[in-house]
Amino acid sequence: SMQCFPSLVLALSSLLGALALLQLSLYLRVPSRYGKHEERLCRPRGRLPARCAWFLQELPSFLVPALLLALRSPPRLEPLGCRLLCCLFCWHYFYRTFIYPFFTRGRPFPLQLLFFGTLFCIYNGFLQGYYLIYCAEYPNDWCTDIRFTSGLLLFLLGMGINIHSDLLLRQLRKPGEVTYKIPQGGLFTYVSGANYFGEIVEWFGFAIATWSLPAFAFAFFTLCCIGPRAYHHHRYYLKTFTDYPKSRKALIPFVF
């Protein structure tokens, strides 16, 4: 049966941090090529409808930790913190896998990125789940620790902002439409990447609540993945819409 190998957790977390840096260097100057940044000339056959693509890609991030949690024998009942935190992670990916894709009005997604995205979700789902279920040690009163409570609060706040912003983006289009408009309302009043801001707050909250290396590595990865994308979205809007609100920032309200 499985057990905790701390050196495995350290190795996988370090690789995740390295991937984050690789990503930063790849995508600071040119955006990752999907959605509004996909090249016009891209082969139309190399894509899958957004609905299938997001479902397939995000599914492992829900399934892998959920299975690790369910199949562990003997079941781990103590401490409560481990199971709660694992459930938070699964909860987010339940939304991202079973709810988000069925409402998206996004354009078809490139197969090549889908492949890497799926690999990434297997990798990260395993790392976070394995760490929480087989390795993490928390005192029995972790649920009242200031790190757990403040992290949980940030997680919930970020998730709320992320889901609300995704909803506002979706409402910009009628079914079947693929045009881009200026997002309005919610945190879009202040930043172009409101959904990304929410997601980043969410995973830093998760990292604080778990106080763990794998979760901080994932929060850093998220920042390096969608931070540059927020910046490229912002530039796209400024270039495309002459009436784009001048005071709006790229990612962080009032700052950047």
Closer CB to ligand NDX, 76 or 107, in the complex: 107
Is 32 near ligand NDX (CB under 6 A)? yes
Candidates 23, 97, 128, 212; binder of ligand NDX (CB under 6 A) is 23
Residues that bind ligand NDX (rule: CB under 6 A) add up to a total of 35
Is 169 near ligand NDX (CB under 6 A)? yes
What own/partner pairs with CB < 8 Å and gap ≥ 24 does 48-53 have?
48/108, 48/109, 48/111, 48/114, 49/108, 49/109, 50/101, 50/104, 50/105, 50/106, 50/107, 50/108, 50/109, 51/101, 51/102, 51/104, 52/101, 53/101, 53/108, 53/109, 53/114
Is 172 near ligand NDX (CB under 6 A)? yes
Candidates 226, 248, 250, 251; binder of ligand NDX (CB under 6 A) is 226
188 neighbors 168 (Cβ within 8 angstroms): yes
Helix (H, G, I), strand (E, B) or coil at 249: strand
| Biggest alpha carbon–alpha carbon distance for the chain | 61
Q: What angle, 0 to 180 degrees and rounded to 10, lies between the N-to-C axes of helices 194-210 and 80-94?
A: 160
Give the nearest distance from C-beta 157 to ligand NDX in angstroms. Answer: 14
Q: Which of residues 175-204 bind ligand NDX (CB under 6 A)?
A: 178, 180-181, 183, 195-196, 199
Closer CB to ligand NDX, 32 or 133, in the complex: 32
Query: In whole angstroms, what separates CA 67 from the centre of its chain?
Result: 20
Give the nearest distance from C-beta 8 to ligand NDX in angstroms. Answer: 20
Overall size of the chain counted in residues? 256
The span from the CA of 190 to the CA of 247, in Å, is 7
Q: Which of residues 206-225 bind ligand NDX (CB under 6 A)?
A: 222, 225
Is 231 near ligand NDX (CB under 6 A)? no
Applying CB under 6 A, the residues found at the interface with ligand NDX are 19, 22-23, 26, 32, 35-36, 50, 57-58, 104-107, 113, 116-117, 120-121, 162, 166, 169, 172-173, 178, 180-181, 183, 195-196, 199, 222, 225-226, 229
